Every structure is written in structure tokens, then in C-alpha cells.
Amino acid sequence: MKIGYTRVSTSQQQDSLKVQEQALKSYGCEKIFTDQISGVRTDRPGLEAALAYARENDSIVVTRLDRLGRSTVDVLRTVQELTSRGITIEALDTKLDTRAPVEAWRTLAPKGVLVAVLLSSPKTNSKQRCALSTTV
């Protein structure tokens, strides 16, 4: 099952919320969870509900990878948690799909695709960028 998750920070971003929801529906998400809450906050009831709802072989779908967390570390932590539960992640903006075979990830890793995605996130701070760039 494809489970969508959307987030906006303020009520003034309702247009963005509608765009996210439409993209997820068009992609085939059967259920969509939403938060209207600042990305700075660690408590996100919609995301928590989506993660609790997801079962093995389900996929959490977001329009942008940064919807999953405030920082690169948050996103990676969520990816790790879901992967350990047999749940995949898809980000529509980057075509990221963690269902890809390990071989595909190996071919992407040297090219820095995932790292580039994470580094380009506006939520990734300079300290995190330095840490990521030294691990590649």
C-alpha cells in the first residue's frame, strides 16, 4: 500500500498542501496523512500516525524528502527505522525509491546521488554537509 505524507508549516501554505496531496493521489497513494506544523517541531502527529499505520511491504511516499524530517539526521533516522520494518520510502522529487535493489544503490552511491539529494535539502545545515561530504 502506498501511504502519503504531507506537511506545511503554516495555514498560509494551503496551496502547497493541496499540490502535495494531489501529487500523492495521482501517484496512487491510498491514504494520506497531513501535518500543519513547523518543521522545527519534533512532534508531528501526522507523520507519527503514518509511521504507525504503515506495515511491512507498504511504502511511505512524500513529494520531497525533506518532508520526513527537519534535518538530514532526522530523515536518515526515519529511513533507517522504516527500512528495518520492511517499509520503503519514495520521494517524488528525486525519484528516490528504497525498493531499488542493493546493486542499484551501489551504482548511485559513487555518483553521490543520495548525498547530493540530502546536501541540497534546505534543512541540511553546514555542519551536517561537512560530515556527509567527508563520508563520501
Specify whether 9 is catalytic.
Answer: yes
Collapsing DSSP states into helix, strand and coil, what is residue 59? strand
Tens of pLDDT along the chain (136 residues) come to: 999 999 988 777 888 899 999 999 999 999 999 998 876 677 889 999 999 999 999 999 999 988 887 778 888 888 888 988 999 999 898 877 777 654 444 444 444 445 545 544 444 445 544 544 444 4
pTM: 0.71
pLDDT of residue 105: 46
pLDDT of residue 101: 53
Residue 39 DSSP code:
T
Which of 9, 26, 38, 59 is labelled catalytic? 9
The CA distance from 61 to 81, in Å, is 15
Helix (H) or strand (E) holding 127: helix 126-135
